[in-house]
């Protein structure tokens, strides 16, 4: 028998933050973590849609502990505001699932002038993780899960001087580039956590070919032939959101997993979640270092993992006057 949601341990007393928890993989992840007793912070852009998802989970799981936080990953100001609110209420975060994203859309830019797919899928999560890491570092065995995609396999090697493909934008290659960056992030973040002596770990999860609203939204926005084709195909052969969420649920909760690992469905559209090889470009140590420096430059954050781990324990274990639980995150701004 492979791993399933029945293998998720009791999460009573634990706090989980999930981006994009208003639908698809995010709401399924929120549902299962809440069912196992975690307090789940649903960090979302669409509060109305998230309210419906929260109410659905609450009906199915009486006693579920759920909380909504407004988060627009396409705005670094919104990321900072959301992180400040989360830290004020939750000085310890046990699970952070960087799940939200957009896919295969026309060229656009975030409010900070960054290409939309790279900005929302990756850089918004990079900044959010940097700001929330003090709370994750205080958890005994905290987990950070970064969601990648099979599309990373079709991405060209990342050019740190042009990571968003500004000079030659292509909707699908840009999406793959953003998801390759998420895999890079998980691996390099875990290496830095280990070097700093942290008990927290970072892992990556690949949902495979899962039928969520991503494909339909892509087809609505782009109206290209490939977007319409994938939207139709995933409806026929794609896995359900519940199945697609299994890799990130295992990465977030299975005590036998190790940091830096990638989990994916055994058969891409089904099967149990298993540890997978990366099989991706730009995964050498020099590549990861260069990419990290580029992400810091693009977000304006100095993401010093060792410093955060070293100083995280000095903050109060509970909310304090003056917001001292957020000062560690604020200190990251260069």
Between CA 304 and CA 212 the distance in angstroms is 35
What DSSP element (H or E) covers 9?
none
Residue 214's pLDDT band (cuts 50, 70, 90): low
pLDDT tens, residue by residue, 105-163: 999 999 999 999 999 999 999 999 999 999 999 999 999 999 999 999 988 788 888 88
Q: Which of 169, 175, 263, 278 is catalytic?
A: 175
What are the chain's domains? Answer: 13-209+239-330 (3.40.50.720)
- Residue identified by tokens 């028998």 is 1
263 catalytic? Reply is no
How many Cα atoms occupy the beta-carbon half-sphere of 315 within 13 Å? Answer: 29
Q: How far, in Å, CA of 174 to CA of 50, rounded?
A: 27
Distance (Å, rounded) from C-alpha 194 to C-alpha 248?
21
> What does the alpha-carbon distance between residue 101 and residue 227 come to, in Å, rounded to a whole number?
16
201-206 vs 65-70, strand pairing mode? unpaired
The better pLDDT of the pair 281, 257 is held by 257
Does the pLDDT value for residue 23 go beyond 80? yes
Q: What digits encode the pLDDT tens for the residues 52-104? A: 999 999 999 999 999 999 999 999 999 999 999 999 999 999 999 999 999 98
CB atoms within 10 A of CB 303: 21
pLDDT-based confidence at 316, cuts 50/70/90?
very low
């Amino acid at each position: 028998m492979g791993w399933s949601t029945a293998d998720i341990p009791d999460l009573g007393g634990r706090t989980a933050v999930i981006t994009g928890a208003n639908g698809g993989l995010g709401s399924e992840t929120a549902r299962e973590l809440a069912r196992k007793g975690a307090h789940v912070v649903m960090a979302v852009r669409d509060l109305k849609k998230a309210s419906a998802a929260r109410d659905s989970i609450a009906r199915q799981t009486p006693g579920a502990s759920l909380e909504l936080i407004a988060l627009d990953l396409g705005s670094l100001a919104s990321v900072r505001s959301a992180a400040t609110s989360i830290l004020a209420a939750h000085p310890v975060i046990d699970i952070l699932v960087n799940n939200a994203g957009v896919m295969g859309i026309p060229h656009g830019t975030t409010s900070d002038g960054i290409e939309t797919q790279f900005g929302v899928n990756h850089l918004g999560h990079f900044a959010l993780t940097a700001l929330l890491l003090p709370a994750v570092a205080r958890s005994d065995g905290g987990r950070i899960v970064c969601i990648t995609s099979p599309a990373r396999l079709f991405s060209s090697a990342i050019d740190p001087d042009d990571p968003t493909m500004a000079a030659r934008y292509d909707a699908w290659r840009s999406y793959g580039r953003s998801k390759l960056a998420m895999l890079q992030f998980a691996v390099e973040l875990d290496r830095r956590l280990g070097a700093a002596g942290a008990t927290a770990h970072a892992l990556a999860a690949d949902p495979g070919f899962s039928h969520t609203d991503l494909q339909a939204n892509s087809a609505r926005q782009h109206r290209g032939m490939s977007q319409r084709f994938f939207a139709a195909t995933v409806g026929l052969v794609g896995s359900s959101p519940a199945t697609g969420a299994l890799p990130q649920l295992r990465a977030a909760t299975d005590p036998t997993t190790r940091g830096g690992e990638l989990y994916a469905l055994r058969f891409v559209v089904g099967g149990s979640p298993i540890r997978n090889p990366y099989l991706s470009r730009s995964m050498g140590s020099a590549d990861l270092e260069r990419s990290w420096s580029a992400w810091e430059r693009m977000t304006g954050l100095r993401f010093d993992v060792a410093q955060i781990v070293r100083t995280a324990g000095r903050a109060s274990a509970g909310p304090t006057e003056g917001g001292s639980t957020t000062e560690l995150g604020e200190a990251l701004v260069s």
